[in-house]
Structure 1
Amino acid sequence: MEDVQQAITGLDIGVIAAYFGVVILIGVWVSKRTSSSDDLFLAGRSLGWAAIGFSLFASNISSSTLIGLTGSAYTTGIAPSAYEWMAGIPLLIMAFVFAPIFLKSKITTTPEYLDRRYSRRTRLYFSGLTIFFTVVVDCAGGLYAGGLVLNTFFPNVPLWASSLAIGLFAGIYTAAGGLKAVVYTDVLQAVVLIGGSAILAFMMFAQLDFSFAEIRESVPNENHLSMVLPLSNETLPWPGLFFGVSLLGFWYWVTNQYIVQRILGARSLPDAQWGAILGGMLKILPLFIMVFPGAMATAILPDIETADRVFPIMITELLPAGLTGLVLAGLIAAIMSSVDSTLNSSSTLLIHDFVTKPEQEIEDSKRKRYGTYATLSFMVAAIIWAPLIQFAGGLWSYLQQMFSILVPPLVVLFVMGALSRIGTEKGGFYTLIFGHTLGAVLFCLGNAGVMGLFGAEPIWPLHFTINVAVVTVLCLLFYVGVSLVTDKKDIDEQVMWRRGMALEDAAYDQPWYLDIRWHALVLAVAMAAVLFVFW
């Protein structure tokens, strides 16, 4: 059952080639219309709500996500899908709190917001960390996971060659077309990804006579199809579900340039808001088209021993020629969406946060040229690093959890910065230092691999999702304490949220079903329904 190698037919190759052909056409078409740095970094601030919503979905779903979601559903249960469907919570916060602030203040990067609210050193600290983790973890990790997946179906192609091909392809059209090329290809990739996954899910459900009862009978334990798990659960204990997941999501969907760049490129505030809510609705889909297929595989393919083989085996065992190519195109789409987004956001951060300085303005043509060079440079770095990940062993899983170290102080700085005037420059900057230091210490104390280096056992028992909540509270107390005893500066009113700000640009002469508040309510009800049904 572990052998997933299958001869790819000419029809499959044709489907994949057609997909690549369309992506190339989009890249060429957009590159001819990319004339300024604003076009390169923010798509000329011309993105509509549908493009934003689909791009948010596509850029978030990577090949490792596809493999991880189905593998987790097969081996441990559906609870990890909370990272997907609960994305609606921070996206609603984005729509009603931060999108109005970001767009009305005309910022280009999320670290720029910290500059306007706190100081330049706070901006550069956050920007540098974001660039490092985006390139080394997100971009290189996407290339590595994509190389592994392609190697499964094309075993004669070495890992380094797959990483090189994916990186070059995504890097070149991203460097040429910028954010608009990324977003337009993301729309295509989202459609292919959703379509391919939905077909696979439908075919698997058909094999079980469309019966949830058969799925429940096949899973290994009663918690397998539950979202709310005991405190002792190692996958996602219930405090982590209710507190940690949303906090991690806040960093990802509200402060991470890799994602937020689409919101910053919106042509209007309503487009940004509708796009964020559409993205939240689309994020519910993975539960049904990616996670449940993994759970259904426990009944259809009961003898799979390795979690990361579940998705490839489902494809090779269940799909006919042609459809295999479509789902492979979906996998390639997931890889491309993650890689192109990370490259574009990293170059944006580098140029706008480090190269461009308040006292030294740079010509627009130079910013565009520098952005292209930066994208290509990050592409090379990620391509070189990606194959080396295979030698890191457990270290790579540790790097993934290290995102939980980044989150707590950033949640405090952004939320308190927007909603309260109490925060000072020193309060903000030193909260970053305090939060990241404390998070790193707790991570090490609770990690068996790190403690084993010193011949000791882990002494911090909390799951990393619970750590996020604990450290966030401590960061809040530290932020308030330092701010109360340090000098305040005048605050730029454009970076502060005020009542009614989210609806200032709404067209009140539209019918009720176009009201953004109703859309938000539908998303909230949908998330509540998922939690209730799978409690």
Structure 2
Amino acid sequence: MNQTGLIGFFLFLTLVAVISIFKTRKVKLNTTAAYFMGNRSLGFWMVGTSLFLTNISCNQFIGENEFVYTNDMSVMAWGMSSILAMLIVAEFFLPVYLKMGAVTTPDFLEQRFGKGMKRIVSLIFLASYLVSLIPTVLYGSAVALNGIFHIDTALGISYFSAIWILVVLVGIIGCCYTVLGGLRAITVSDLVQGLGMLIGGFLLLWFSLQYLGDGSVLHGIEKITGSEKEHLNAIGGANDPIPFGTLFTGMFLINLYYWGMEQYIVQQVLASKSLSQGQKGISLACVGKLISPLLLNVPGLIAVHLYPDITNTATVFPKLVSDVLPSLLTGFMAAIVFGAAISTFNAGLNSSGTLFIMNLYKPWRKAAASDKELVRTGRIFQVTITVLAMCFSPFILYFDGGFYHYIQKISSFFSVPVFTVMIIGLLTKRVPELAAKVGLVFFIVMYGISQFVVDTGLNYLHVLAILFAVSVMLMLLIGKLRPMPVAYVAKNMAVVNMRPWRARYWFFAALLVLMAGMFLLFSEYGLAA
């Protein structure tokens, strides 16, 4: 085990913890607004870095670099195309949520369709976090840490046992952060982690290229751009795992759902102090997405040349970190990866508590529940979710198809069906609750059949787009036959300043041009020529 690396690991984590405690020492967590929403006091720096760090976790470090190693750069499309979705959210979705004073995204469904729909979607979110989000974050961080520090070898135990031990360790630390610090502590730590990730990412690239180029960074760049060019292509073909056409079908729908409706993501923006700060924060997160391939994809390209015969491809990223960085920086990089995992884990856990308390427990208790009771119950629920996820997480190791495949397949069960209902609610005024329930059930059942019963021969992202279109038509048909007697009218219950960011369109346009430029760079007209 790398003892110097462990020192660097714990030093950086201690620094983040000390800064978080110092900046939040005067914050009282005895109300739900303070515990779950940070008193709606976040500026754009906190919103942007928290959004970016919440999205970037060990799942991406492990899964995307593994995908580049085994396939090509087409996995980059998830991050790049999300920029368009994020800007749509900033312009159209965020004003709606803030105007109605939403705490959770299902709050909109309650206003639009009724309490029943809010409860159903809240349960779907919770199921998604328990089955998909929290276990995969724990598993991904365990794989990364074991790959860097070789815990299994140091302790003389099996790989599975090492993963289990690390899952429990990450779960306990992450749970303590959330339960003791609330959303404000999470966002402060994200700000420090974001700076660390930027520094660590460039250090990893420098040392990796130097290692590959036998001491010369330029020689290393020449190697990854001069051979194995098929790995440099981000424009996936029709038979590739991620065809380029899916950017305009299922991938676009998933990204729009993720950035505009996924509770653990949107909650970061709902806590902003104004609409303008929220829009700036989303734009800052888009800048992070533009540079994220340097950390999430390029190491996989370098590994193609360094390790042509890896059997466990999930270890590509941690092996690279362990081999190329000096001992102290190895620990620093491990702390960044660990921090990214904790950030996503904390966001998921905080949102789980918010959904359970605000959408299920509080309505059940009605006026009988005080803020103190709600916060206490939320903490108990978060601890319970953590324990369940820790028990399930290590077994992802045995999932057929790989880690990244597990994430995308399972999350799709929950994402686009909810998006379909939300988008109908946003764009129509008379479609009733019955249509929303029928559409939701139809989508989930048909997607399950298409993935596990009938082989359609289509990429699952195309299947999602087809089911989206059919479900929308089904809901519109029910709305035509049995419309709501009174059209829906949004209520103005804003608790923050609703003035938008004046310069946003110039920044939005620049971000879209840079997004297109990244696709051009990693294509047959660019580096893959």
Q: Does TM, normalized by the shorter one, top 0.5?
A: yes
Once the two structures are TM-superposed, the CA of residue 26 in structure 1 deviates from its matched residue by 4.3
Instruction: Provide the C-alpha distance between the structure 2 equivalents of 1:182 and 1:130, rounded to a whole number of angstroms.
Output: 20
- The reply to whether residue 218 of structure 1 matches residue 206 of structure 2 is no
- The reply to whether residue 532 of structure 1 matches residue 520 of structure 2 is yes
- Which of 161, 166, 185 aligns to 1:162? It is 166
Cα deviation, 1:330-353, whole Å, max 9, x if unaligned, reads 111122112111111101000011
Which residue of the partner structure matches residue 385 of structure 2? 378
- Which of 275, 298, 309 aligns to 1:292? It is 298
Q: Contact 1:137–1:400 (CA<8 Å) still a contact in 2?
A: no
Instruction: Provide the C-alpha distance between the structure 2 equivalents of 1:350 and 1:486, rounded to a whole number of angstroms.
Output: 32
Cα deviation, 1:16-66, whole Å, max 9, x if unaligned, reads 112221333245442651231101111110111111111111111111210
Cα deviation, 1:68-94, whole Å, max 9, x if unaligned, reads 111111220110111112211221111
Pick closer, same or farther for the CA change 1:373–1:321 going to 2, 3 Å. same
- The reply to whether residue 92 of structure 1 matches residue 64 of structure 2 is no
Q: Contact 1:27–1:173 (CA<8 Å) still a contact in 2?
A: no
- The reply to whether residue 141 of structure 1 matches residue 136 of structure 2 is yes
- The reply to whether residue 416 of structure 1 matches residue 424 of structure 2 is yes
- The reply to whether residue 320 of structure 1 matches residue 326 of structure 2 is yes
Segments of structure 1 that go 5 or more residues without pairing to the other structure are 1-6, 447-458, 497-502, 509-514
Cα deviation, 1:93-139, whole Å, max 9, x if unaligned, reads 11001110111100111111111111212111111111111122211
Q: Contact 1:261–1:345 (CA<8 Å) still a contact in 2?
A: yes
Letter in 1 for 2:327: A
Which residue of the partner structure matches residue 11 of structure 2? 18
Which residue of the partner structure matches residue 181 of structure 2? 177
- SS of the equivalent of 1:227 reads coil
Cα deviation, 1:436-468, whole Å, max 9, x if unaligned, reads 11111111235xxxxxxxxxxxx3100111111
Pick closer, same or farther for the CA change 1:47–1:308 going to 2, 3 Å. same
Deviates more, 1:408-417 or 1:195-204: 408-417
Instruction: Provide the C-alpha distance between the structure 2 equivalents of 1:112 and 1:338, rounded to a whole number of angstroms.
Output: 22
Cα deviation, 1:482-510, whole Å, max 9, x if unaligned, reads 111113154553369xxxxxx960366xx
Once the two structures are TM-superposed, the CA of residue 478 in structure 1 deviates from its matched residue by 0.9
Which residue of the partner structure matches residue 189 of structure 1? 193
Instruction: Provide the C-alpha distance between the structure 2 equivalents of 1:200 and 1:273, rounded to a whole number of angstroms.
Output: 31
Instruction: Provide the C-alpha distance between the structure 1 equivalents of 2:260 and 2:277, rounded to a whole number of angstroms.
Output: 16
Pick closer, same or farther for the CA change 1:495–1:420 going to 2, 3 Å. farther
Pick closer, same or farther for the CA change 1:392–1:31 going to 2, 3 Å. farther
How is 1:23-422 mapped onto 2 (pairs within 5 angstroms)?
23-29=16-22, 30=24, 32-33=26-27, 34-152=29-147, 153=149, 154-155=151-152, 156=154, 158-206=162-210, 207-208=212-213, 209-210=217-218, 213-219=222-228, 222-233=229-240, 235-357=241-363, 360-361=366-367, 362-390=369-397, 397-398=405-406, 400-422=408-430
Once the two structures are TM-superposed, the CA of residue 213 in structure 1 deviates from its matched residue by 4.8
Letter in 2 for 1:290: L
Letter in 1 for 2:473: L
TM-score relative to the length of structure 1: 0.88
Once the two structures are TM-superposed, the CA of residue 149 in structure 1 deviates from its matched residue by 2.3
- The reply to whether residue 484 of structure 1 matches residue 480 of structure 2 is yes
TM-score relative to the length of structure 2: 0.89
Segments of structure 2 that go 5 or more residues without pairing to the other structure are 156-161, 524-529
Q: Contact 2:429–2:488 (CA<8 Å) still a contact in 1?
A: no
How is 1:420-431 mapped onto 2 (pairs within 5 angstroms)?
420-431=428-439
Instruction: Provide the C-alpha distance between the structure 1 equivalents of 2:386 and 2:20, rounded to a whole number of angstroms.
Output: 17
Instruction: Provide the C-alpha distance between the structure 1 equivalents of 2:349 and 2:415, rounded to a whole number of angstroms.
Output: 21
Pick closer, same or farther for the CA change 1:216–1:24 going to 2, 3 Å. closer
Deviates more, 1:139-148 or 1:38-47: 139-148
Which residue of the partner structure matches residue 4 of structure 1? none
- SS of the equivalent of 2:232 reads coil
Instruction: Provide the C-alpha distance between the structure 2 equivalents of 1:184 and 1:249, rounded to a whole number of angstroms.
Output: 26
Once the two structures are TM-superposed, the CA of residue 377 in structure 1 deviates from its matched residue by 1.8
- The reply to whether residue 517 of structure 1 matches residue 524 of structure 2 is no
Which residue of the partner structure matches residue 158 of structure 2? none
Q: Contact 1:63–1:146 (CA<8 Å) still a contact in 2?
A: yes
Which residue of the partner structure matches residue 3 of structure 2? 9
Instruction: Provide the C-alpha distance between the structure 1 equivalents of 2:449 and 2:406, rounded to a whole number of angstroms.
Output: 13
Instruction: Provide the C-alpha distance between the structure 2 equivalents of 1:399 and 1:326, rounded to a whole number of angstroms.
Output: 27
Instruction: Provide the C-alpha distance between the structure 2 equivalents of 1:364 and 1:472, rounded to a whole number of angstroms.
Output: 39
Q: Contact 2:430–2:488 (CA<8 Å) still a contact in 1?
A: no
Deviates more, 1:242-251 or 1:410-419: 410-419
Pick closer, same or farther for the CA change 1:127–1:525 going to 2, 3 Å. same
- SS of the equivalent of 1:281 reads helix
Q: Contact 1:91–1:253 (CA<8 Å) still a contact in 2?
A: yes
Q: Contact 1:418–1:495 (CA<8 Å) still a contact in 2?
A: no
Letter in 2 for 1:517: Y
Letter in 2 for 1:240: T
Instruction: Provide the C-alpha distance between the structure 2 equivalents of 1:359 and 1:108, rounded to a whole number of angstroms.
Output: 18
Cα deviation, 1:153-173, whole Å, max 9, x if unaligned, reads 122463332112211111012
Cα deviation, 1:185-234, whole Å, max 9, x if unaligned, reads 12222222232122111223344443655323321xx542222222122x
Instruction: Provide the C-alpha distance between the structure 2 equivalents of 1:311 and 1:504, rounded to a whole number of angstroms.
Output: 43
Q: Contact 2:430–2:487 (CA<8 Å) still a contact in 1?
A: no
Q: Contact 2:253–2:419 (CA<8 Å) still a contact in 1?
A: yes
Q: Contact 1:218–1:298 (CA<8 Å) still a contact in 2?
A: no
- SS of the equivalent of 2:490 reads helix
Which residue of the partner structure matches residue 159 of structure 2? none
Pick closer, same or farther for the CA change 1:296–1:388 going to 2, 3 Å. closer
Q: Contact 1:28–1:173 (CA<8 Å) still a contact in 2?
A: no
